Amino acid sequence: MKENIMGSPVVPVAPSRGRLRPLGLDEVRVTGGFWARRRHVNATVSLDHCRDWMERVGWLGNFGSAVEARRGREFADSDVYKLLEAMSWDGEYDVPAPLVEAIASFQEPDGYLNTAFGRPGQQPRYSDLAWGHELYCYGHLIQAGVAQIRARGEGELAKVARRAADHVCATFGPGGIEGVCGHPEIETALVELARATGEQRYLDQAALFVDRRGHGTLADPEFGRAYYQDDLPVRQATVLRGHAVRALYLAAGAVDVAVETGDEELLAAVVRQWERTVARRTYLTGGMGSHHRDESFGDDYVLPPDRAYSETCASVASVMLSWRLLLATGEPRFADLAERTLFNVVATSPSDDGRSFFYANTLHRRRRGTLPPADAESPRAESSLRAPWFAVSCCPTNVARTLALLPGYLATADDQGLQLHQYADAEITTGGIALRVGTDYPSHGRVTVRIDRTPDHPWTLSLRIPAWAQGDTALLTDPDGARRAVHPGTAEITRHFRPGDEIRLDLPVSPRWIAPDPRIDAVRGTVAVQRGPLVYCSESVDLPGGRDVDAVRVDPSVEPADGPDDTVVAPGELAAPGAPHDAPWPYGPVDPAAPPAGERSGIVLVPYHSWANRGPSTMRVWLPTTDPRGRS
């Protein structure tokens, strides 16, 4: 580490170098709109909901319980830590001291801390690096500790985290166990602790873990070593592969190491992997991971909408990765993907009331499901509706910490000025600059930036023009009222701003048809609708006559139009209820005649993030077209 950077702003990621400087939760306040509503529910409902569930299923009680009374899967500790991280970022929330005390008391004198391993009657420490998740749990503990250091000042939780990190360095450092964890996460956490404390050894250990992976030190599991990225060294890989959350956490950690060590080769390797992953292995929603079996990326272009796994945690991890790449490079494409993922996956997972969550985020639901019981753990990641808790419940706490730190993803600064990456009602104060952002985004495209305080010299306000605006006109109005067209990428205004200056950005959020790359076989012959950053879907509750969404055909030769309340009306047809009837065998001769036309209808579409909030339904994002040719 070049320097002790304690006293950095209240941010999850504080690189000591890189293109952009993050702004902290003490510098950016979200004051209204889409994200403020969700952050309010998160702070006032979801944090308690997660704590209550973990109390109920015994995960909190594991710290201090007897071996035979321990509850939950081997990684249950990590969810406690993720919740503590979320609570720490949230300035309003009292982090429960007795819980932190219990964790601290449970820690062994040498820093070891895990409720599932190491005690008499349990498997020995580090006897199962592939599946035991011990280092993974430290990772989340350390992230919680960093949150405490930055948001609350060094306290007990931070001390526990440091002792654990010291133990990791002593145990897995040079001369120690030459292994890695089956689930990456410790890497990014150790770098952040190095940043927060100035301790070089944490960074060194993270770099060691990154370089150690990919050499087949973990057993070859049924899914193959790519499952935990142990098939290829990070520097040699060309695409993200294997378990999506693992792959994305590892990539985030590799970026952190690359930035702190000035390792351009490593950074370029991750950028290359990100590029191919985005071009070939990412859903329209930004979701990643198409296999249910191993929660993994599929091969290139394997993106089935009906079997989309698109785990909520993978979306959290993807935003983490994109944010690190944005800070390192300043390139808006990383903020583009983060925006898409935040609005369409992170925002989709929690219910409106903040008490239930999607684990997997399918893009096509064929059967109306039944409501999961409100008072039971869901044994399944794949539920038809949001569930209050899961046997493996990584997603709710990951959503909670992401919403808690979300203001940190909105803006950055550099020597030239200030950059706005995500648009929300917000107040930003940093250095000599204070400004307010006012917007109804993403419902409407107007974003107004009002300068309240400014240094008495010229500086640059940068605004991301989203890639989704391509082909349409975005307009930027400067404080003098001069308007100009701006294009996807970055628009800048450099001037000697005065308090009271207003800058206005008008983004073209009218709905538009989106077609997939022809290599994505699973959605051939279909189109989707996007409006601004929001992906839309057809949901059966909006269809007349009790139809399911498979009755929908749309006509992309006519533009979709805005409907009331953020809906979109898409031109199309509805098949008669119940049609078509089954043939005994669903394959037959190519029929050159047009299929019978359905009833012409405007199809009401709703934002994907809002689906399944009105009871059991069927849903699809990709809609077949009214192409008259063939049977398809």
Query: Which is catalytic among the residues 50, 394, 395, 537?
Result: 394
- Over the window 289 to 328, marking each residue x when it contacts a second copy by CB under 8 A and - when it does not, the resulting string is --xxx----xxxxx-xxxx---------------------
Among 265, 375, 565, 582, interactor with a second copy by CB under 8 A: 582
- Close Cβ partners of 285 (under 8 Å, ≥ 6 residues apart): 310, 340, 341, 344, 345, 348, 361, 363, 535, 608, 621
Between 285 and 348, CB nearer to a second copy: 285
590 binds a second copy (CB under 8 A): yes
418 binds a second copy (CB under 8 A): no
- Among residue numbers 387 through 416, which ones bind a second copy (CB under 8 A)? 391
As a whole number of angstroms, the distance between CA 466 and CA 462 comes to 12
- Among residue numbers 454 through 483, which ones bind a second copy (CB under 8 A)? 467, 470-471
CA distances from 538 to 11, 335, 514 (A): 38, 27, 14
Give φ, ψ of 244 to 5 degrees: -65, -45
353 binds a second copy (CB under 8 A): no
Cα 531 to its chain centre, rounded Å, is 20
Give φ, ψ of 367 to 5 degrees: -115, 140
In the complex, what is the shortest distance from the CB of residue 64 to a second copy, in angstroms, rounded to a whole number? 29
* Residue 361 contacts residue 312 (beta carbons within 8 Å): yes
| Lookup: tokens for 101 | 């005390």
Instruction: Please give the size of the binding site for a second copy, defined by CB under 8 A.
Output: 76
CA distances from 412 to 9, 15, 128, 230, 479 (A): 12, 12, 41, 34, 21
524 binds a second copy (CB under 8 A): yes
Among 51, 133, 512, 547, interactor with a second copy by CB under 8 A: 512
Judged by DSSP in three states, 138 sits in: helix
Among 7, 557, 565, 593, interactor with a second copy by CB under 8 A: 557
- Among residue numbers 29 through 88, which ones bind a second copy (CB under 8 A)? none
| Lookup: tokens for 228 | 């935990």
Query: Which is catalytic among the residues 134, 192, 260, 295?
Result: 295
Is residue 377 part of the annotated active site? The answer reads no
525 binds a second copy (CB under 8 A): yes
As a whole number of angstroms, the distance between CA 135 and CA 234 comes to 19
In the complex, what is the shortest distance from the CB of residue 472 to a second copy, in angstroms, rounded to a whole number? 10
* Residue 145 contacts residue 160 (beta carbons within 8 Å): yes
- Over the window 225 to 264, marking each residue x when it contacts a second copy by CB under 8 A and - when it does not, the resulting string is ----------------------------------------
632 binds a second copy (CB under 8 A): yes
- Among residue numbers 360 through 389, which ones bind a second copy (CB under 8 A)? 364, 366-367, 379-381
131 binds a second copy (CB under 8 A): no
Among 5, 36, 170, 514, interactor with a second copy by CB under 8 A: 514
Is residue 394 part of the annotated active site? The answer reads yes
Between 304 and 438, CB nearer to a second copy: 304
- Close Cβ partners of 626 (under 8 Å, ≥ 6 residues apart): 553, 554, 555, 572, 573, 597
284 binds a second copy (CB under 8 A): yes
* Residue 459 contacts residue 418 (beta carbons within 8 Å): yes
As a whole number of angstroms, the distance between CA 97 and CA 549 comes to 49
**How open is the CA angle 566-400-271, to the nearest 5 degrees?**
85
Between 401 and 464, CB nearer to a second copy: 464
In the complex, what is the shortest distance from the CB of residue 564 to a second copy, in angstroms, rounded to a whole number? 25
Give φ, ψ of 162 to 5 degrees: -65, -40
528 binds a second copy (CB under 8 A): yes
120 binds a second copy (CB under 8 A): no
Q: Which span (138-146, 240-248, 280-288, 564-572) binds a second copy, by CB under 8 A?
A: 280-288
| Lookup: tokens for 223 | 């899914």
- Among residue numbers 207 through 226, which ones bind a second copy (CB under 8 A)? 220-224
Among 10, 76, 624, 626, interactor with a second copy by CB under 8 A: 624
* Residue 438 contacts residue 450 (beta carbons within 8 Å): yes
Q: Which residues are catalytic?
A: 295, 394
